[in-house]
Structure 1
Amino acid sequence: MTRPAGPRPTLRRSTLRPGDALRTALLGLRYRRARAALSALGIAIGIAALVAVLGITRSSQSALLAEIDQLGTNLLTVTNGQTFDGQEAELPVAATPMIRRIAGVERAAPTAILASARVYRTDKVSPYDTGGLATRAADPSLLAVLGGTLRQGTFLNAAEGRYPVTVLGYQAARSLGIAAFGGPPPRVFIGGRWFTVAGILNPLPLAPEIDRSALVGFPVAATLLGYDGHPSRIYVRTDVNATNQVAALLGPTADPETPGDVAVSQPSAALTARLAVAQASTTLFLGLGAVALLVGGIGIANVMVIAVLERRQEIGLRRALGAARIHIAAQFLTEAILLGTLGGIAGLTAGTVITVALARARHWTPLIPPAALWAGLGVAVTVAALAGLYPAARAARLAPAEALRTT
């Protein structure tokens, strides 16, 4: 029998458009919703951790830097070590006026801790129960030197400094149960005498010791509380460009006889150190997020391998109908990438929500680096693609006859 004359029929080459691959991948995931969701969850947790860590770190750093800029890095403190009971040692009487003579010093405010004058809400409290609060004699210029503000009332002035009047630091007021006062000013018991509360300070990040103190004037401290004229801590505000030079001169100027005993510190350095600690913590949490991503990638690989085993007949039928190996591989690789994309989007959303919620709770401005969002999604897709390579290659290697066998 001869073949009729004419042109030989041409076989059409099998094609798989990107839209077809996406629809096929979606259809495959719909039949395994629970497993697909659990696989994407691992990716989502990892991406959420990465975005939240970077966002929270950036928000806290921004707030801290703004706080440092507002309070200034030109504040120095001068102390003379500590006594045996942990209190601040005394500085010479002439320390403050001598410090004010240093070129580059704008203001200097002395304070003196009054170790024997305990502060209580009532005279019924045991004298051994200090509550961690201290009484300090303070200069009227202290608030301006520290850049502090009043939460309520007024600060000490030259007139009130002669009378039993006190201003409470923020933590001291809370510990004494005086958050605010609307009627007659409350009184506190200091050194066996009643003092009227004239004001309450807002928190002072650069002077936490003031936050836990009751401040009184130097004149009343000398007449009623045994103050001997020696300051124990001096706050110095300098010209921004002369801070280092002033710091080098403070010790010899405050105590010429024993300058080595004088400790000069820069309170803003402690806030700056917190940035370094935050960055170290960020590295740790980013590592934990990477581990979660790895677990998510392994989960996707596991789901895709099981999918290949479960869909052997589907693979064999498609191969028998003309699907090329690359099309089978593309189908399963697309499913893996789709899982990673969905998990990445869920993770980005969760990380953003966590960052915004925590930032608002801490009164920060929420800041999420745009690179973290794009990089997070890119990492999710990359991890999923790598996880789907082996299952896709395994599916492509199946022979039609073998795949069509009933297992």
Structure 2
Amino acid sequence: MLSPASLGPREVLHVGSAGLRARPVRVVLSALGIAIGIATMIAVVGISASSKAQLLQKLDALGTNMLVATPGQGMFGEEVKLPKEAPGMVGRIDGVRQVGATGDLEVSVRRSEKIPVEETGGITVKAAGVGLLGTLRGAMASGTWLNDANGRYPSVVLGHVAAERLGISRPGQQVAVGGRYFTVVGILRPLPLAPEIERAALVGWTAAGELLGFDGHPTAIYERSTDASVHRVRDLVPHSVDPQNPRNVQVSDPSSALQAKAATEGTFTGLLLGLGGVALLVGGVGVANTMIISVLERRHEIGLRRSMGATRGQIRLQFVTESLLLSGLGGIAGIALGAAATYAFAAAGGMPWVVPLWAVAGGFGATLAIGTVAGLYPAVRAARLSPTLALQAV
């Protein structure tokens, strides 16, 4: 008995791509739906991953080992003050590497004395210790930080938000603080972990006491410890600052907000992926429609191949292969478009460009699955055509 010749991978690829080569415009239009769906999915995952990577980079740069101790509330709601020696007490805790402190002042800062005192612009005035900048891992946009020399005189360092609101662009200008003029010696860069410092005018600890009536009690103590001792230090800070009433001291972690944001990044990714999946499904319907039309148009070809010995299985394989190639081309184009969109978004926002490998592999796998499903019915229909009837229809 005669047996039909088998088709190797090369022959299968050749016959499967014949329909695509003959109708390039239809191929482009059919693959476009698949490309849009995959591009949407890749871009959604890539943008979310890039944004999360940027947050993690910020956390690595800023560190998650900083704690802030502030006064709590007394048992009867009375005002609580931290001891003047509190920064030194915190600095003696084992594992603490850096300590900085600020103290709130009941004075206002204005561009000039002619501006009403009530118009504060949301800017506060704080006494600042010399070690504050290092503890916050801050940097100067311009000028210098407070030190033991300029911290004794009427000099002030402005947070970048405070400088913008006061209209100060460079050191050397003066602002009115508590009824007298202070010289701006520096302007800080943004401090994501200390937004209260960004909106503050900072004066030296000594000058605050001698010129502005500061009582020396800190209202916020910032400390940096080793990563391994953060949790232990957090438990020890209240007892070290106020051994008799540790409940009067509140300890917070400023980096927790960024950590929570990084953890929740991509909350809406599932919804957007669903929209991309709908677009991909619509593209799959378009591929199925294209394949059905292709079967109807190529009945003579199918009948001729069947009459020359091609089996039904080989006809099915031909059209499933054609559907897979069509979907695969759309998937490759969609991956490229999604990666390009992610790159453009990341470059515009100063983010690292991240496209997860699992998203690329999953997206391309989805296109192959869609192509298989979309081509299965047309392939079965083509295989069931009678060679005699197919040749007579021409």
After TM superposition, the score normalised by the length of structure 2 is 0.85
In the TM superposition, residue 111 of structure 1 has moved relative to its aligned partner by 0.5
Alpha-carbon distance in 1 for matches of 2:220, 2:290: 66
Q: Which amino acid aligns with 1:296?
A: G
In the TM superposition, residue 221 of structure 1 has moved relative to its aligned partner by 2.4
Alpha-carbon distance in 1 for matches of 2:38, 2:21: 23
Residue among 219, 240, 244 paired with 2:231: 244
- Percent identity reads 50
Contact in 2 for aligned 1:46/1:291 (Cα 8 Å): yes
Structure 1 residues 95, 350: CA separation in 2 closer, same or farther (over 3 Å shift)?
Answer: same
Q: Which amino acid aligns with 1:43?
A: I
1:1-400 counterparts in 2 under 5 A? 13=4, 16=7, 18-30=9-21, 32-81=23-72, 90-114=81-105, 116-123=106-113, 125=115, 127-178=117-168, 180-181=169-170, 185-400=172-387
In the TM superposition, residue 255 of structure 1 has moved relative to its aligned partner by 3.3
Q: Which amino acid aligns with 2:42?
A: V
Contact in 2 for aligned 1:108/1:236 (Cα 8 Å): yes
Give the gaps of 5 or more residues in structure 2.
none
Contact in 2 for aligned 1:172/1:214 (Cα 8 Å): yes
In the TM superposition, residue 389 of structure 1 has moved relative to its aligned partner by 1.3
* Structure 1 segments of 4+ aligned residues over 6 angstroms from their partners: none
In the TM superposition, residue 201 of structure 1 has moved relative to its aligned partner by 1.6
SS at 1:229's partner residue?
coil
Q: Which amino acid aligns with 2:198?
A: D
Alpha-carbon distance in 1 for matches of 2:295, 2:242: 82
Contact in 2 for aligned 1:79/1:264 (Cα 8 Å): yes
SS at 1:148's partner residue?
coil
Alpha-carbon distance in 1 for matches of 2:391, 2:314: 17
Q: Which amino acid aligns with 2:134?
A: A
RMSD (Å) for aligned C-alpha atoms: 3.1
Structure 1 residues 260, 344: CA separation in 2 closer, same or farther (over 3 Å shift)?
Answer: same
Give the gaps of 5 or more residues in structure 1.
1-9
| Residues 314-342 of structure 1: per-residue CA shift (max 9 Å, x gap) | 43444344433223222321221112111
Range moving further from structure 2, 101-110 or 281-290: 281-290
Alpha-carbon distance in 1 for matches of 2:320, 2:116: 74
Alpha-carbon distance in 1 for matches of 2:284, 2:370: 6
Q: Which amino acid aligns with 2:139?
A: T
Structure 1 residues 186, 69: CA separation in 2 closer, same or farther (over 3 Å shift)?
Answer: same
| Residues 200-257 of structure 1: per-residue CA shift (max 9 Å, x gap) | 2222222222122221112332344443322211101223332211111212332345
Alpha-carbon distance in 2 for matches of 1:304, 1:129: 72
Q: Which amino acid aligns with 2:290?
A: V
Q: Which amino acid aligns with 2:140?
A: L
Structure 1 residues 35, 195: CA separation in 2 closer, same or farther (over 3 Å shift)?
Answer: farther
Contact in 1 for aligned 2:73/2:248 (Cα 8 Å): no
In the TM superposition, residue 139 of structure 1 has moved relative to its aligned partner by 0.6
| Residues 46-93 of structure 1: per-residue CA shift (max 9 Å, x gap) | 32233334434444444433332333222110112489xxxx974333
Alpha-carbon distance in 2 for matches of 1:125, 1:312: 88
SS at 1:189's partner residue?
strand
SS at 1:263's partner residue?
strand
SS at 1:131's partner residue?
coil
Contact in 1 for aligned 2:80/2:248 (Cα 8 Å): no
SS at 1:136's partner residue?
strand
Range moving further from structure 2, 243-252 or 166-175: 166-175
Alpha-carbon distance in 1 for matches of 2:165, 2:267: 33
After TM superposition, the score normalised by the length of structure 1 is 0.83
Aligned length: 390
Alpha-carbon distance in 2 for matches of 1:335, 1:125: 77
